[in-house]
Amino acid sequence: MVVAGKIFRLVEPTPLPELATKFSGYGKKEEPYEEGDYKFTLVTEIMNLLPRENAVAGIYSYDYMLHVFHRGKVVPLPRTVEALFSFSQQEKQLFLTVCGKETLG
């Protein structure tokens, strides 16, 4: 499977332990969503945060609403998207790598 990704070079260097602390404090955010008879909880969170010697990696996961046609009507459907990310230190440069990974919801 082909996965799209991007690499960014950060202009403002931040120590990796500081990044790990910021992301570990992000927590899980839940937002109620109601449309007609449909009720969902949309979640945004950072999961599986892994601080290492020269890197900090994890998964950024968020839900959004999609509307699909089903049996003559439009029905809301939650969808989850996950993006794998990694901050890595190479010599004096700090890089952020983000790879998209979609999950059917």
Token pair 């070079």 is found at: 9
The per-residue DSSP string of 4-54 comes to -EEEEEESS---HHHHHHHHHT--EEEEEEEETTEEEEEEEEEEEEEE-SS
The residue range of the domain holding 30 is: 5-103
Q: pLDDT value at position 27?
A: 81
- In order along its 105 residues, the chain shows pLDDT tens digits of 677 889 999 998 788 888 888 888 888 999 999 999 999 999 999 999 988 888 999 999 999 999 999 999 999 999 999 999 999 998 889 999 999 865 544
Q: pLDDT value at position 30?
A: 97
For the chain, the domain total comes to 1
Nearest to 44 by CA among 70, 78, 1: 78
Q: pTM of the prediction?
A: 0.81
User: What radius of gyration, in Å, describes the C-alpha atoms of the chain?
Assistant: 17
